[in-house]
Amino acid sequence: MSQYTPGLYPVLPDGMVVVDSSDAGPASPPSITPTRSLTSRFLSGCKSALNNMVNAQYIKPRFSAATPVWLLGVMYGDDGPPLAADGGGGGGGPVIVREESGGYVGISRSGSVDSTGSGGSVGGGGSSSSAHPHIQALLSDIWSRPWMTYREGFPPILSSKYTSDVGWGCMLRSAQMMLAHTMFVHVLGRDFRYEPGCPADLEARHRSVLALFADVPSDRAPFSVHNLLRHAAEDGVTPGSWLGPSMVCRTLCRAVNQEKRAGPQLRVYLALDCLVSRERVEETILSSGQDWCPVLILIPLRLGTQQINMAYVPALQRVLANPMCVGILGGKPRHSLYFIGFQGSEMVGLDPHTCRTTDDPSDKSSTLKSYHCNSPRKINFAGVDPSIALGILCQTREELEGFYAFSAEETDTKVKPLYSMSE
């Protein structure tokens, strides 16, 4: 477990903040004023209830117990084979399996193996397959990932009258999820499982990360929607505008790179034109003032014209099966999702399109359940918009070299590579 130092910004191991086209398009939702009538609040409540019901029930996915599921580098399934270069079985490096209490837990390609507890209040599944031990372990893992959704009732954003991001802020919320998961890995560990009533020190670290994303304009929440839009304004983005994957990556870079109150704790390298430059990655790391600091590599891509070229699917599967992957930003046109895994021909993602009343995770009286999801989405690869962004986190120099080797391997197989590498 990482060393924790109390403070406004969680101190991450080895120290953790981004260095370094555009696809933002203005949406036109109605202005939302800070003061709302009783009728307005009633209608908003009805809309939120319907939205929550649709997202939590109607589209709750089914996970087949017969087909392995990959989730951010961990495979859940009964005796499922490692992922091969073509997305099938065979090859792919060492596989480690661990069982706990007689039940299947997970398979990982890395030296660290995913573990799980009871999982707390875990939902999803929607069929008897949820009774299988590995499905329960999968749902526990999904439940423990950070979930950022639409919120309403927060202070107005910048000089606008927007007190909610409903209808236009989904990509910002997806980006928050990717960054929050990155920090979860550093502060809590990849094997973290959220269970209400956990030890006080774990609860404090959990809250300290989520508090960085609270819906307030204050500096104490540097990755709030308010502050992200303040950075996006440098590219002409205004509240109410929808951001695409490429633009939100630029926004994340500015927001994290300029958060220096706790010292350099993370650097983010933004790949341009689908090209990852080893020289620029090294410059990004050294800009922290240290020989090494963790680096988050963001790679915006366009994998087709109107829809994804299916020739890229095996490579996308291999990325999601890589333990260094922190997810993929994408979805459908103007309907963003945060993709965290896949099962067969379907991607698994967290959907921000649920509206909740804003709260402050730093308030110990507030519940954290609204920041965790028990009903993930599944969408066929063929239905995903071709504009996406990959996230790769390298916490050590060895992992960075492993990422380079992984990328080189992609070009040496029959898989159609997603990006290029240069020295």
Phi-psi region of 294 (alpha: psi -120 to 50; beta: other; left: phi over 0): beta
Closest CA to 252 of 272, 277, 222: 222
When pLDDT is averaged across residues 373-380 and rounded to a whole number, the result is: 93
E strand segments, 77-228: 96-100, 103-108, 150-152
* Residue 26, token pair as written in the block: 């203005």
- Structural domain contains residue 123: yes
Mind telling me the catalytic residues? 170, 351, 353
pLDDT given at position 148 = 97
Query: Which range, 21-25, 106-110, 367-371, 384-388, has the best average confidence (pLDDT)?
Result: 384-388
Average the pLDDT over each of 39-53, 136-150, 158-172, 346-360 and give the range with the smallest value: 39-53
CB atoms near residue 54 (< 10 Å)? 12
Count of helices and strands (H, E) across the chain: 9, 17
Q: Which amino acid is at 114?
A: D
Average the pLDDT over each of 19-28, 213-222, 333-342, 404-413 and give the range with the smallest value: 19-28
- Structural domain contains residue 1: no
Distances in whole angstroms, Cα of residue 388 to Cα of each of 67, 151, 371, 417:
25, 24, 23, 14
pLDDT given at position 328 = 98
- Structural domain contains residue 386: yes
pLDDT given at position 373 = 94
Distances in whole angstroms, Cα of residue 296 to Cα of each of 36, 213, 365:
41, 18, 33
pLDDT given at position 51 = 54
Q: What is the pLDDT of residues 155-209, one digit of tens each?
A: 999 999 999 999 999 999 999 999 999 999 988 999 999 987 788 899 999 999 9
Q: What is the pLDDT of residues 301-341, one digit of tens each?
A: 999 988 899 999 999 999 999 999 999 999 988 899 999 99
The boundaries of the domain holding residue 189 are 48-422
pLDDT given at position 405 = 94
The pLDDT of residue 106 is above 90: no
Q: What is the pLDDT of residues 207-253, one digit of tens each?
A: 999 999 999 999 999 999 999 999 999 999 999 999 999 999 999 99
- Structural domain contains residue 12: no
Q: What angle do CA 414, 420, 423 make, to 5 degrees?
A: 125
CA distance 246 to 352: 18
Q: Which amino acid is at 362?
A: S
Q: Which amino acid is at 245?
A: P
- Structural domain contains residue 292: yes
The DSSP bridge pattern shows strands 325-332 and 387-394 to be: antiparallel
Radius of gyration of the chain (CA): 20
Structural domains counted in the chain? 1
Q: What is the pLDDT of residues 260-276, one digit of tens each?
A: 765 458 889 999 999 99
Q: What is the pLDDT of residues 135-161, one digit of tens each?
A: 889 999 999 999 999 999 999 999 999
- Structural domain contains residue 135: yes
* Residue 195, token pair as written in the block: 């269970």
Q: Which amino acid is at 420?
A: S
Question: Residue by residue, what is the 3-state secondary structure of 27-58?
Answer: CCCCCCCCCCCHHHHHHHHHHHHHHHHHHHHH
pTM of the model: 0.78
Distances in whole angstroms, Cα of residue 250 to Cα of each of 19, 109, 268:
9, 31, 10
Side-chain-side CA neighbours of residue 375 (13 Å):
15
Query: Which range, 54-68, 100-114, 238-252, has the best average confidence (pLDDT)?
Result: 238-252
- Structural domain contains residue 34: no
C-alpha 119: how far from its chain's center? Answer: 19
pLDDT given at position 48 = 52
Closest CA to 76 of 105, 109, 118: 105
* Residue 352, token pair as written in the block: 């921000």
- Structural domain contains residue 109: yes
Residue 254: strand, helix, or coil: helix
Closest CA to 179 of 223, 143, 144, 230: 223
pLDDT given at position 261 = 60
